[in-house]
Amino acid sequence: MKSYLAAAVQMTSVPNLQKNLAQAEELIDLAVRQGAQLVGLPENFPFMGEEDDKRAQADAIASETEKFLKTMAQRFQVTILGGGFPVPVNNTGKVYNTALLIDLNGQELARYLKAHLFDVNVPDGNTYRESNTVMAGTLLPPVYSSNELGNIGISVCYDVRFPELYRHLSSKGADVMFVPAAFTAYTGKDHWQVLLQARAIENTCYIIAPAQTGLNYARRQTHGHAMIIDPWGTILADAGEQPGVAIAEINPARLDQVRRQMPSLQHRVF
């Protein structure tokens, strides 16, 4: 593993597949022109709308999105994480919230089905029931090992509140952990940054957190602040509140330095 630049993309996805894919392509292009070799797209990047609309269009969203990710990876010669999109589950009327890691040859490297579903009554008056339309994945997330990019772990959004999932990724040797998200504005202002920093610090790893931002549809407001955080918990890049990219260096020497200075992973008792 050598040093390289990674990008966390920030989007305002809406209930329009083609418009979202066009926005994603522009931002991938922007990231690559700035030197990124690893690019993460946020949760719900190809479609963000009412759950019933998403379910009704799930076949088209799934097929178009997978084709898009493979095309973009090959065109721009970059490894891409598609951070969460619906893939229909046969004979259930539900979908898996699916994250897909694609290499620069357009080959699938890893696939993760979001395990923790967002069923929450948020104090701002909004209620979310992801489980109404999404089936939870039942497998622990994968870690993909790359000589060029390091060991890459995958999670999605609400997973970030469950540290045992990241401990699993750490135990599998993860150097970099993706947390693509569509965090609500209300919870994001208090919890987003601190949770990401905690996951980075306790596992002494890099966190790449692509994000949704702004008004996506109806009353759905997302927090933004796509980030890249180093193993000490330092915020290396923050995309703010507008669509764009957060870009920072993933440096194996920094990873080794922090793990020597704070060897907590070697001191685990339980």
Fold held by 4-267? Nitrilase/N-carbamoyl-D-aminoacid amidohydrolase (3.60.110)
List Cβ neighbours of 114 (8 Å cut-off, separation of 6 or more): 84, 96, 97, 98, 99, 134, 136, 137, 156, 157, 158, 159
Query: Could you tell me the residue ranges of all domains in the chain?
Result: 4-267
Contact call for residues 1 and 147 (beta carbons, < 8 A): yes
* Model confidence, pTM: 0.96
List Cβ neighbours of 16 (8 Å cut-off, separation of 6 or more): 47
Residue 141's pLDDT is 95
Residue whose entry in the numeric block shows the structure tokens 């957060």: 246
Residues designated catalytic: 43, 114, 157
How far apart CA 30 and CA 9 sit, in angstroms, is: 10
Q: What is the pLDDT along the chain (270 residues), one digit of tens a residue?
A: 899 999 999 999 999 999 999 999 999 999 999 999 999 999 999 999 988 888 889 999 999 999 999 999 999 999 999 999 999 998 898 999 999 999 999 999 999 999 999 888 888 777 888 888 999 999 999 999 999 999 999 999 999 999 999 999 999 999 999 999 999 999 999 999 999 999 999 999 999 999 999 999 987 899 999 999 999 999 999 999 999 999 999 999 999 999 999 999 899 998
* One-letter amino acid of 250: I
How far apart CA 62 and CA 66 sit, in angstroms, is: 6
